[in-house]
Each structure stands twice: as structure tokens, then as C-alpha cells.
Amino acid sequence: MSRLFGTDGVRGMANADLTPELALSLAAAAARVLAEHDTTHRPVAVVGRDSRASGEMLEAAVTAGLTAAGADVLRLGVLPTPAVAFLVAELDADLGVMISASHNPMPDNGIKFFAKGGLKLSDELEDEIEARLGRTSGRPTGAGVGRVTDVPDAVNRYIDHLLVSTPHDLHGLKIVVDCANGAAATAAPQAYRRAGAEVIAIHAEPNGLNINDGVGSTHLDVLQAAVLEHGADLGIAHDGDADRCLAVDGTGAEVDGDQIMAVLALALKDAGELKDDTLVATVMSNLGLHLAMKDYGVRLLTTAVGDRYVVEELRAGGYSLGGEQSGHVILPSHATTGDGLLTALRLMARVAATGKPLNELAGVMRRLPQVLINVRVADKAAVAAAETVSQAVAEVTAELGETGRVLLRPSGTEQLVRVMVEAPSQDEAHGAATRLAEVVSAVG
């Protein structure tokens, strides 16, 4: 039987895979596990959601499950995932529940949990929750049933926290923010205006059905056009739950997560706040980031793909900054998880503080052309162990030398092998990736 929890909670098509019954059972199991781990008091859980229509249904189910298991619920309404993580600690709750499928299309939804302090649950706790699904014995009655309280100032509490974490005001900046018709629709424009920027908000009118619909961080073309149309200094793009941030500079060019990390790393280094002059990223970060950080005296540590692995490395070493090319950026001094609004504020603060345009700041890193080919195979483990594949990778790696990079990675969820090549030119990257993909396909 496959594990219910994925790399970021439980996801699926709402009311088909992710049903109200499953949501109720998950929430009740989580509350029971927490109660068993700490018997000193009645558990308190905060519950938030993004703007999907199905979130209303799942919020009701999650709330019912938590209260039926004896936990009190603080209902936050629609707000970003990182706001839920922050409010777990701010409100001294024992558990956080965010109902969102992030950048996935509207029919999907998901449930992710945060432990006390706002940290993502460990694999062990997720396994405990999964093992408790469907057990209904020992339900409380009478005064033992949990109570529900709304938190009307949840968004303002979160914005106040963001502004305290922003090192420079944004007066003089004109920005466009694409809210993806999602959880950032209220919080992002308010936060950026309160920080001093002139803000043009687009896709900030969620109706329950239009979240991520051709907009947001996975569709930057609309933001690029808006930045040029309004003559803005830069643009910010969020995904549906606003835990990631990508940007567009004043020329309309994309600034990805690697470039954002490069800008923030040098800002922290200049301020003497980059612990051990170290940045943490995943193996998918562009070689250009590695080269740029080396040039500026910053050590780059790499982890497996997934922001939870970045967070683990950050916590283990006490480091100050980490993230992913996709725009998940973690600043552990201010957040326990990727926070798109915090990332955007820190990026814009660097622009305002230096007086330099974003394209100049991001120019410290040159993105090498990158080609990724997904090869469907019968046995990804056999392909990964094949000598012919190893030889082919060694040959291409030798040809590229220090000017390029090869990464073969079996998919974590499908019978696929991902072939990624970076090289000085697009043609070189494409040629090398195609050669390797043919070897992988022949073996698989």
C-alpha cells in the first residue's frame, strides 16, 4: 500500500480523491496523535485555506474532525500557507492545518500539517497519523468536544510580522504583483503598500474557481507584459498558496528562484548575517548559481529536491538562507517554511536599499542553458544502476568539464528518469541531454 502523505501533505482531486470523509479522518487522527504526545492540555489547532471553492467544504470537514477528537480550533480563513505556519507559533497552537494544493489547478486540493512552532511534520508523525485513520474509539462528549473560534485579525498579524522582518522600506518603488487569484490576494497587496511601494495588483479577485488559472508564478507572461505596460520597477508572482515567489525585472525578464537566492545571499553577506557564508539549495539549482556564489565567497550546500530537505539542512547547520529554483525561499530567522511574501519584501528591500535595478542585482548570476528530458522506463532502479548509463554520464561530464553539469535523477513517484544537462549554449545542452536520454531509453 502506498503512503498517503506525499512530499508536502496529502493532495488529490477534491471530492474524488480528497474527500470530506478523508479530510475529517485525517484531522481527527492528527488531533488524537497530538493529544497522546502531550496530555497536559487540550490541543489547539489553527486552520487556514486558500481560495479554492472546495476549501470551504474541506475546512468544514477538518474542523469537524479536530473538534470531534477534542481539539479546539482557531479558524483563520483565506490566507497564505506561511501565514498558517507563523500563526501556529504566534497563537501558541499545537497544530496547524493548511488546506491548499499550492500551484496545482483548481479541481485539486490538499491538506498539509504544521507541528508546534510552525514546523512541517516529521515523516514519523505523518506515519503515526496515517496509522490512526478510521479509528473512532474514545470520542469525547459534552464539554470534551472541541470549540471553534474565528481569528478576524489573522491577516494583519501576519503582515505585521512581515514588515518587522523587512530591513528597508519600499518608498519610490512601483511594482506589479500577480496574486494568482489565490491566498495572496488580500495579504500581498496590503503588505507591499504598507511597506511603502506603489502597488498594481493583478489576478487579485479570487472567485473560488480561477485560482492558478493561467496566472501566477507558473505563467509569468502576463506579469511580464503588465510590468512593461505600467513602467514598473519590477513584478512579483506568487502561486496559489503564496509559499513561493518569482520575479520579473523592469525590462520584463524573468528572475527565478536561483537568482533571487543569489541577490538575498549577497545582501545577507553584506550585512554580516549570512551564517558561515553558506547558502543551501537543491541539486536542481542552476550551475550558474554555484559559479556566482563561488565568485563572491559563498559556499553552496546542496540537498535532495524538496523544500523539506532544504529546511532540514538549514536547521542542522544553523544557516541563514536556502531555497529552490522554483521560488521556495526559506529565511529561518523569520520563517519556518518557504514564504513568498517575505521573499518578495526582502528582494524589493535590496532594490530600494541599493538604488540598483533588479536586472543589475540579479546579473551577479548568469543562468546556464538547462535542458530537462523525462524518459519513461520500465525499471528506473535498473537504469540508475546500469553501467552503460554511468559510462555515458561520465563521458558527457568530461566533455563539459567545469562549464557544464549532468544530473540523472529517478522520479520519486513515477517510472521516469529525469535527464538534466547544463552547458554554455542551448545547442550543447540539448545535444548532450538527447544523447543521454537515448542511452537511458535503450536500457530501460
Cell of 63: 474542523
Helix (H, G, I), strand (E, B) or coil at 219: coil
Q: Which amino acid is at 146?
A: G
Please identify which of the residues 51, 100, 102, 326 carries the catalytic annotation. 102
For residue 102, indicate whether it is catalytic.
yes
Distance between CA 195 and CA 409 in Å, rounded?
Answer: 42
Burial class (CB in 10 A: 0-12, 13-18, 19+), 409: middle
Residue whose grid cell is 520500465? 378
The answer to whether 246 and 188 are in contact (CB under 8 A) is: no
CB atoms within 10 A of CB 57: 17
Distance between CA 246 and CA 259 in Å, rounded?
Answer: 9
78's enclosing H/E stretch is strand 72-78
Burial class (CB in 10 A: 0-12, 13-18, 19+), 364: middle
Helices 81-90 & 340-354 angle (0-180, nearest 10): 100
Distance between CA 226 and CA 200 in Å, rounded?
Answer: 9
CA distances from 405 to 283, 290, 410, 431 (A): 11, 11, 17, 13
Burial class (CB in 10 A: 0-12, 13-18, 19+), 137: exposed
Distance between CA 178 and CA 108 in Å, rounded?
Answer: 21
- Expressed in angstroms, the distance from the first to the final Cα of the chain is 25
Q: Which residues contact 421 (CB under 8 A, 6 or more apart)?
A: 370, 371, 396, 400, 404, 405, 406, 407, 429, 430, 432, 433, 436
List, in sequence order, the alpha helices (H) in 111-239: 123-132, 154-164, 184-194, 220-230
407's enclosing H/E stretch is strand 405-410
Catalytic residues: 102
